[in-house]
């Protein structure tokens, strides 16, 4: 029976739309995979030496174990965000003579092959090899590695148990934040008691049974949950959501674009995929922390300009690059309705402007780093509103990948908007603010650099209509291709 | 109202539609029948400028649909579920369409309230998104959406499919009213010969993209169609 399932999966995998992509994307994806895989392996190898150097008087394995809990919490949060529940196309299998248990075992077993379960292997395996090379006892290292992998699988199954409820996600994030905070301010180190536990796993090889039992328990729990709900209206079916009713009539003041704006707000609030993008773009706000806190970048203001643009541009770039695709599910309606294209585009532009505005307000804590940094963020925000928005919309027009709105993007199959044209379009997005700032900065001074960057955005706002009509004509030209591409179901 | 001339659509070398000439006068209820792949949906898609013709053109009220967008204000359609916005409730969807067609909330409410019978209490005030409605109920919402804003041309692709018997009968009445008393040109396609002969004044049979019959509906039409399709 399993053989049949496997062949179905095989077909599903290789006939999926992301495999039908151009050779260029395949190559890019391949290099991407090599890069991230390589980076993880190097991290796995390097972490031993880093720890040894940083804390010479503690055994690296003990240090490593102390902080392992953070890895697992992070892993769980990431999975919650990215990993879809394993809903095989269950309906056709319900009526054919296969034992229910077989289907469920298969369904759960399949999740063990998830990308997320292999990710840790890239880090922990090289680390273990380094340990072995350094003469750590083979039995301890191996059982430790097995424990870690089994715990990873346990996380996998925990995720399926809690994934149904968003509050868990916020609890995990909250717990993570509190623990990190307590750790940093040395109030209470959660890493210590849990570190003891993980170290015990290393020191006492027979303790490997604990993670194994834990995983078995979680597997049984998942199994019985699915078995109870193995009906069309049970766990496996998707639930009809409750309607969230928000009064958006106040948006009518935006005049002729209000109708689109209201729709876009509902689009974002009521669909899984755009919600995901919204949360991602929130993370962009913290981008500045990476750059502003590092001494090295203080002498490279061009990079600071780049980072400052990112702080307010998260939503603009992540949402904007998929602009016609968000409406792909009902694109035919839009194309045959009484809709002026320009108004449609304008409303998307306003949405991005509002997002930049909100991000800008949220970025005020960066004042802590001084007026210079905040000036950069301000200039970056203006650049985002005036130029970046149009570049992004322009890039979106070249993107014809349909999006399933209410389905979370899967890790690494999310190649929507990932194509050579998008890559080319990304270059000016990233390079332009650096150049606009850097050239006048070199020629005159810092302030002039800021002014030029800010002015470029203002110019973009002034010539808004020109840009919008240009993009509009691009949309018009691609109309039939876009309709055809969007009506293909993935 | 709608003039079709030398229209053809080819995919590679495969001709899917080839209509030399077809004239649909204003206020006619026009039915298109044919087996799968006969070109019904292709014709409607061309009429809505969703695909490009290989040769020829369609004029809607003297406007070349492929060259100008001025036909959009007086034309509306429901072809398939991609004409619905899944994350809206039925009311929100109607208001959305209404706003696009310059109707205020009261206008939309007034129009929609006429269809309470048709909705059979399953569309309005349901607190459900359109994507969570059943296929038949989605269709009801889509059809009524296409009636908003006093369109002069209404295009419905297989409106009777997926509807329950009561609703089918009510829909027939709605379509008849539109053409007879309001002078609206209604184009529908259907696989149900009985419904289409009930509703349409004129029926055109497509076969492999060509018009093979063009009938004025009378008492003998149903029989004629049945014999045609039996062979």
- Whether pLDDT at A8 is above 50: yes
Contacting residues for A169 by C-beta, under 8 A, at least 6 apart: A77, A80, A81
The widest CA-to-CA distance across chain B, in whole angstroms, is 51
Selected residue of A274, A275, A331, A338 to mutate for chain B interface (largest B Cβ count, 10 A):
A338
Left, alpha or beta for A412 (phi > 0: left; psi -120 to 50: alpha)?
left
Contact criterion met (CB below 8 Å) for A441 and A299 = no
How many CB pairs lie under 8 A apart between chains A and B? 81
**Alpha carbon of A483: minimum distance to chain B alpha carbons (Å):** 7
Q: What is the DSSP letter of A339?
A: -
Residue in chain B lying closest to A333 (CA): B83
Q: Roughly how many angstroms between the first and final C-alpha of chain B, as a whole number?
A: 33
Residue A374 structure tokens: 């905040």
Q: Which chain B residues touch A241 with a CB distance below 8 Å?
A: 129, 132
Contact criterion met (CB below 8 Å) for A288 and A308 = yes
* Chain B contact present for A261, CB below 8 A: no
Beta-bridge partners for B204: B32, B214
Backbone angles phi, psi at B58, to 5 degrees: -120, 135
* Chain A contact present for B127, CB below 8 A: yes
Per-residue pLDDT of chain B (231 residues; tens, 9 = 90+): 899 999 999 988 899 999 999 999 999 999 999 998 899 999 999 999 999 999 999 999 999 998 888 899 999 999 988 899 999 999 999 999 998 898 989 999 999 998 888 888 888 888 889 988 889 999 999 999 999 999 999 999 999 988 999 999 999 999 998 888 888 999 999 999 999 999 999 999 999 999 999 999 988 899 999 999 987
Left, alpha or beta for B133 (phi > 0: left; psi -120 to 50: alpha)?
beta
3-state SS assignment for residue A43: helix
Q: Which chain A residues touch B80 with a CB distance below 8 Å?
A: 332
Residue A275 structure tokens: 């919600």
3-state SS assignment for residue A325: helix
For the segment A338-364, what is each residue's pLDDT rounded down to a tens digit?
887 888 888 889 889 988 999 999 999
* Chain A contact present for B124, CB below 8 A: no
- Whether the model clears a pTM of 0.90, i.e. scores above it, the answer is no
Backbone angles phi, psi at B203, to 5 degrees: -130, 130
Q: Which chain B residues touch A343 with a CB distance below 8 Å?
A: none
With CB atoms and an 8 Å threshold, state whether A270 touches B87: yes
* Residue among B31, B148, B30, B24 at smallest CA distance from B83: B148
**pLDDT, position A31:** 77
With CB atoms and an 8 Å threshold, state whether A338 touches B127: no
What count of other Cβ atoms lies within 10 Å of the Cβ of residue A235? 16
Give A121: exposed, middle or buried? Use CB within 10 Å, 0-12, 13-18, 19+. Answer: middle
Question: Residue holding tokens 């993935």?
Answer: A490
* Chain B contact present for A478, CB below 8 A: no
Contact criterion met (CB below 8 Å) for B81 and B142 = yes
**pLDDT, position A239:** 56
Please give the full DSSP string across chain B, using - where no structure is assigned. -EEEEEEEEEETTEEEEEEEEEEE-TT-EEEEE-STTSSHHHHHHHHTTSS--SEEEEEETTEETTT-STTGGGEEEE-SGGGS-TTSBHHHHHHHHHHHTT--HHHHHHHHHTTHHHHTTSSTT---BGGGS-HHHHHHHHHHHTTTT--SEEEEESTTTT--HHHHHHHHHHHHHHHHHH--EEEEE-S-HHHHHHH-SEEEEEETTEEEEEEE--TTHHHHHHHHHH-
**pLDDT, position A414:** 46
What count of other Cβ atoms lies within 10 Å of the Cβ of residue A265? 15
- State how far the Cα of A315 lies from the Cα of A356, in Å rounded to an integer: 7
- State how far the Cα of A468 lies from the Cα of A397, in Å rounded to an integer: 12
* Residue among B93, B166, B157, B79 at smallest CA distance from B129: B93
From residue A19, alpha-carbon distances to A30, A232, A351 in Å are: 12, 30, 33
Residue in chain A lying closest to B65 (CA): A336
- State how far the Cα of B29 lies from the Cα of B201, in Å rounded to an integer: 6
With CB atoms and an 8 Å threshold, state whether A330 touches B76: no
With CB atoms and an 8 Å threshold, state whether B132 touches A333: no
Comparing A164 with A464, the larger pLDDT belongs to A464
């Amino acid at each position: 029976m399993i053989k049949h399932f496997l062949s179905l999966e095989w077909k599903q995998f290789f006939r999926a739309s992301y495999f039908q992509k151009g050779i260029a994307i395949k190559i890019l994806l391949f290099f991407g995979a090599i890069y991230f895989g390589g980076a993880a392996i190097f991290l796995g190898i390097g972490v031993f030496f880093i720890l040894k150097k940083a804390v010479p008087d503690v055994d690296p394995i003990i240090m490593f174990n102390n902080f392992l809990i953070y890895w697992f919490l992070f892993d769980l949060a990431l999975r919650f965000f990215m990993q879809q529940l394993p809903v095989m196309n269950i309906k056709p299998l319900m009526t054919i003579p296969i034992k229910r248990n077989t289907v469920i075992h298969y369904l759960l077993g399949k999740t063990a092959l998830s990308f997320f379960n292999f990710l840790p292997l890239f880090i922990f395996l090289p680390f273990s090899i380094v340990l072995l090379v350094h003469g750590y006892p083979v039995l301890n290292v191996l059982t430790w590695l097995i424990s870690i992998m089994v715990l990873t699988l346990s996380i996998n199954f925990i995720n399926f148990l809690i994934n149904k409820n968003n509050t868990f996600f916020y609890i995990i994030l909250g717990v993570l934040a509190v623990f990190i905070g307590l750790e940093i301010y040395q109030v209470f180190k959660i890493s210590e008691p849990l570190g003891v536990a993980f170290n015990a796993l290393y020191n006492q090889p027979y303790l490997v049974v604990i993670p194994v039992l834990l995983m078995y328990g979680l597997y049984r729990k998942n199994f019985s949950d699915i078995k109870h709900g193995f009906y069309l209206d049970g766990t496996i079916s998707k639930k009809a959501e409750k309607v969230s009713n928000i009064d958006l009539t106040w948006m009518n003041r935006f005049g002729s674009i209000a109708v689109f704006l209201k729709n876009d707000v509902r689009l974002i609030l009521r669909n899984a995929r755009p919600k995901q993008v919204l949360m991602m773009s929130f993370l962009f706000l913290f981008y500045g922390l990476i750059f502003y806190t590092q001494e090295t970048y203080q002498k490279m203001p061009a990079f600071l300009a780049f980072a400052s643009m990112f702080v307010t541009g998260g939503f603009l770039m992540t949402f904007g690059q998929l602009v016609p695709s968000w409406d792909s599910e009902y694109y035919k309606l839009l194309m045959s309705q009484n809709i002026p294209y320009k108004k449609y585009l304008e409303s998307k532009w306003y949405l991005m402007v509002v997002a930049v505005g909100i991000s800008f307000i949220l970025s005020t804590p960066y004042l802590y780093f001084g007026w210079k940094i905040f000036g950069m963020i301000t200039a970056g925000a203006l650049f985002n509103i005036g130029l970046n928005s149009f570049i992004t919309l322009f890039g979106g027009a070249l993107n014809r990948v349909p999006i399933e709105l209410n389905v979370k993007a899967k890790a690494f199959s999310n190649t929507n908007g990932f194509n050579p044209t998008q890559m080319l379009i990304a270059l000016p997005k990233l390079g332009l603010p650096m150049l606009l700032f850097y050239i006048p900065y070199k020629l005159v001074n810092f302030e002039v650099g800021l002014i030029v960057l800010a002015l470029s955005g203002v110019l973009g706002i002034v010539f808004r209509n020109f840009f919008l009509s240009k993009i509009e004509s691009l949309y018009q030209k691609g109309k039939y291709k876009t309709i055809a591409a969007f009506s293909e179901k993935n | 109202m709608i003039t079709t001339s030398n229209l053809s659509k080819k995919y590679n070398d495969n001709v899917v539609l080839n209509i030399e000439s077809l004239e649909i006068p204003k206020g006619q209820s026009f039915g298109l029948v044919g087996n799968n792949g006969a070109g019904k949906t292709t014709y409607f898609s061309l009429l809505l400028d969703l695909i490009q013709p290989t040769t020829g053109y369609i004029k809607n009220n003297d406007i070349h649909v492929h060259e100008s967008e001025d036909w959009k204000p007086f034309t509306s359609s429901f072809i398939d579920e991609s004409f619905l916005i899944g994350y809206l409730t039925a009311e929100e969807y109607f208001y959305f369409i209404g706003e696009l067609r310059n109707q205020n909330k009261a206008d939309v409410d007034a129009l929609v309230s006429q269809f309470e019978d048709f909705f059979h209490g399953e569309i309005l005030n349901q607190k459900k998104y359109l994507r969570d409605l059943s296929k038949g109920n989605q269709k009801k919402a889509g059809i009524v959406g296409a009636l908003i804003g006093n369109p002069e041309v209404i295009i419905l692709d297989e409106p009777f499919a997926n509807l329950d018997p009561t609703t089918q009968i009510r829909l027939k009445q709605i379509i008849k009213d539109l053409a007879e008393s309001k002078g609206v040109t209604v184009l529908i396609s259907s696989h149900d010969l009985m419904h289409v002969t009930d509703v349409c004044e004129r029926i055109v049979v497509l076969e492999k993209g060509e018009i093979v019959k063009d009938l004025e509906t009378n008492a003998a039409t149903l029989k004629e169609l049945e014999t045609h399709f039996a062979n």
